[in-house]
Structure 1
Amino acid sequence: MVSTYASYAAITRDLNLSLERVEKQPFVERETEYYLEAIGKVKTIDDFVGDRRLFAYAMKAHGLEDMTYAKAFMVKVLEGGVDERDSFANTLSDKRYREFAETYNFARHGETATIFTRAQQGAVDNYLRQTLEQDAGTSNEAVRLALYFERKAPEITSMYEILADTALSKVVRTSLGLPDSFALLDVDKQVEFLGSKIDIEDFAEPEALSKLITRFTSMWDVQNQTGSGVANVGILFSQPAQFGISTDLMLTMQQLKA
């Protein structure tokens, strides 16, 4: 059986080549062609969410595929934009909604919102990366988690952000050999403990990040070999917070402490 790290390394050794393989998949090729042809013609939010195929591509590109059905919710995200501090997208703890509203910024740019690179090739690049990670997860959930952590880590500025993201927190707990029940502890105690073990600034350093991912993949394999339960990666990447702790509450607590 190929180790988790070997599978991860096979993808990341030449990431561009891995992404090119994804891009050439027939389904991906068709959907990308349609997206690039259609997105520049979109002038309104209604046009955008009204095109099911186009909207689904955009949602997957931002890691929001599971919320594609929630069109009314996403319309609210788009209508508020991101310029006002109290806009709907800015009040949500999940950064993906803000990023979505920034990419398709109808509130700021109106009819020209979809002509910018971030809404066209930028979205395609994101879609390819999301597909790469999902494909990797079909054979080994830990490879998807490792790829996701690698992508998100440089953006992390707070331990609360890790705890608010079930996938990120799974990687950290596994790398430190902590049981999932660790998440039942008081949030401040979790932050204190994790802060004593991990320096978030290291996430921006490729060498340090590589060491953490190597440890995670090794620990994952050890735990699986000893009969530990394998995480349901679909749940880890879904919306609801685990263990009854609201992600909004955790990030609010962080803001109060700032």
Structure 2
Amino acid sequence: MSFQPVLPVGGLAGYRFLERTAETQQAALRQSPALARDTDHFRERIGGIETAAELVADRRLLRVALGAFGLQDDLPNRFFIQKILEDGTARPDALANRLTDDRYKAFAEAFRFADATTPPTREAGFASEIIARFEAQEFEIAVGRQDETMRLALFAARELGTIAASGAGADTQWFRIMGTPPLRRVFETALGLPRAFGQQDIDQQLETFRTRSERIFGSGEIAQFTNEAARDTLVRQFLLRAQIEAAPSPSPGAIALTLLQSAPRLAPLR
């Protein structure tokens, strides 16, 4: 039987429960036979992998490698993934750089088959780092089978700090958020942006994201989310707005009351 997380309630209360029980629940996930077989295989074999072709030829290795970056749906697309890895990210015209989903770029950068003299698969700690990412993603997937909103919240809490602390330029950080579908959805919901918003000009989208973020969170830059409290505020706002969207035809008064109740955890509006 596959692992099933304990999630007694949804929304913000459910998220707080997951925070409190995460260590115990993730330990239970790691003990599930199917996941343990995959991670043991990865740990044993990845050090001998030196090329993209070798990686995609081993389905179990590739499952962990892709899953670590949320790309598990591409497991059947071996030739596409091999091209991503063989192109790397150093050239502007590399395939990963031309895709709108930045998870492919992160995947190619992690394995660096095209851009490194010695593949990182040989480096100490590489296997453990990829496995840790894979296990975190698998936990989030399991949660998402019960509540997709909760999965997005967990993903944002885990990934946003890395982007915020990356040292990349302010615009680049925003473009990474916009190019990572789960994070983009969290921000669009938290900032009250409609789904059709993504059809606007990319520079106009950037300006809107920045303006709304400054008004709601007190800063228009992603760097603010290096702070755990700021990440928690974003997740809280996302979950509250997601609950409102899911509710049957909420009245304006109910919306206002829900957002006002969250105000102590949010930065003052400007």
- 1:104 corresponds in structure 2 to 111
Is 2:60 aligned against 1:42? Answer: no
Partner secondary structure for residue 114 of structure 1: helix
**1:77 maps to which of 59, 79, 84:** 84
Q: Is the 8 A contact 1:82 1:90 kept in 2?
A: yes
Is 2:180 aligned against 1:165? Answer: yes
- 1:197 corresponds in structure 2 to 212
The 1:169–1:80 alpha-carbon spacing in structure 2 relative to 1, beyond 3 Å, is: closer
Count, aligned residues: 228
The alignment's C-alpha RMSD in Å is 2.6
Q: Map 1:99-138 to 2 at 5 A.
A: 99-109=106-116, 113-117=120-124, 119-138=126-145
Is 2:54 aligned against 1:32? Answer: no
Is 2:73 aligned against 1:51? Answer: no
CA drift at 1:112:
5.0
The 1:50–1:110 alpha-carbon spacing in structure 2 relative to 1, beyond 3 Å, is: farther
**2:26 maps to which of 4, 19, 32:** 19
For residues 189-242 of structure 1, what are the alpha-carbon distances to aligned partners after superposition, in whole Å with 9 as ceiling and x for unaligned?
3332322221223222211221121111112112212259xxxxxxxxxxxxxx
TM-score by length of 1: 0.76
Gaps of 5+ in 2: 1-7, 165-169, 214-219, 251-270
The 1:37–1:195 alpha-carbon spacing in structure 2 relative to 1, beyond 3 Å, is: same
Is 2:190 aligned against 1:175? Answer: yes
Is 2:152 aligned against 1:145? Answer: yes
Q: Is the 8 A contact 2:152 2:183 kept in 1?
A: yes
Instruction: State the alpha-carbon separation in 2 of the partners of residues 185 and 45 from structure 1.
Output: 37
The 1:191–1:46 alpha-carbon spacing in structure 2 relative to 1, beyond 3 Å, is: closer
Q: Is the 8 A contact 2:55 2:61 kept in 1?
A: yes
The 1:222–1:93 alpha-carbon spacing in structure 2 relative to 1, beyond 3 Å, is: closer
- 1:209 corresponds in structure 2 to 231
Bigger RCO of structures 1 and 2 (CA < 8 A, at least 6 apart): 1
Partner secondary structure for residue 122 of structure 2: coil
Instruction: State the alpha-carbon separation in 2 of the partners of residues 34 and 125 from structure 1.
Output: 14
TM-score by length of 2: 0.73
Gaps of 5+ in 1: 229-258
Amino acid at match of 2:246: N
The 1:106–1:128 alpha-carbon spacing in structure 2 relative to 1, beyond 3 Å, is: same
Instruction: State the alpha-carbon separation in 1 of the partners of residues 54 and 67 from structure 2.
Output: 18
Instruction: State the alpha-carbon separation in 1 of the partners of residues 66 and 37 from structure 2.
Output: 17
Instruction: State the alpha-carbon separation in 2 of the partners of residues 132 and 118 from structure 1.
Output: 21
- 1:248 corresponds in structure 2 to none
